[in-house]
Chains A and B, each alone.
Chain A
Amino acid sequence: AAGVIQSPRHLIKEKRETATLKCYPIPRHDTVYWYQQGPGQDPQFLISFYEKMQSDKGSIPDRFSAQQFSDYHSELNMSSLELGDSALYFCASTSGYEQYFGPGTRLTVT
């Protein structure tokens, strides 16, 4: 069965650089969520989209923005990166109540 695809899987950036993370949901899933998991922490909700519209917003810094495109894939844009942004970024998709997670993008900011 098709799963959620995230790219890239690993990303190394320097402070003050920008990064773009991509998420391709499971086919026919219309809702995408982004979560951030810091080292040794639980995942924290950032933002979600339903039918290409932002549906909810969590603790997402103003330096981050995201959108969902007509083909339902989503991109998380991160600017002015800080050391504290180093984390595992998950995308999850759903067409109902069960969220299926992608493998994550590991972002390291040096």
Chain B
Amino acid sequence: AQTVTQSQPEMSVQEAETVTLSCTYDTSENNYYLFWYKQPPSRQMILVIRQEAYKQQNATENRFSVNFQKAAKSFSLKISDSQLGDTAMYFCAFMNLAPHPSSGDKLTFGTGTRLAVRP
């Protein structure tokens, strides 16, 4: 079974500054995806970024980027130029790859990091 660990329950950052959220995972699998989801006060789960384990290049989506260290099983999220709208709970999630793309690969979530962006 896979486990996902987020060791920072809460973090705070000044608006326009950069913040890094940590995530480590444990798996014996070699082919998997990693995700960061954002859950604002509305409780909607919003996909922020994904990383394929077979790719060495770190994923980037606008102000969001990851530092994927496969050997260390580490997957951190960097948010640049933090905005007030980034205030949310952030969940790191693991998904094992099945032989078929749509054969029911569930997400395993970490316990989340609550990020507050200060004005």
15 A/B residue pairs, CB under 8 Å, sorted by A: A33-B104, A42-B109, A43-B45, A43-B91, A45-B106, A48-B106, A49-B104, A51-B102, A55-B103, A95-B102, A98-B50, A99-B107, A101-B46, A101-B47, A104-B45
- Number of B interface residues in the complex (CB < 8 A): 26
When distances are taken between beta carbons in the complex, the residues of chain B under 8 Å from A58 are: 106
- Number of A interface residues in the complex (CB < 8 A): 31
Q: How far is the CA of A47 from the CA of B108 in the complex (A)?
A: 13
Measured CB to CB, the residues of B under 8 A from A are 33, 35, 37, 42-47, 50, 91, 95, 97, 100-112
Majority secondary structure, B binding face: loop
A-B contact number at CB 8 A: 71
Measured CB to CB, the residues of A under 8 A from B are 30-31, 33, 35, 37, 41-45, 48-51, 55-56, 58, 88, 90, 92, 94-101, 103-104, 106
Majority secondary structure, A binding face: strand
Q: How far is the CA of A95 from the CA of B103 in the complex (A)?
A: 10
Told that A45-B106, A94-B102 touch, could you supply 8 new A-B pairs with CB distance under 8 A? A31-B104, A51-B102, A56-B105, A92-B45, A96-B102, A98-B47, A99-B107, A101-B44
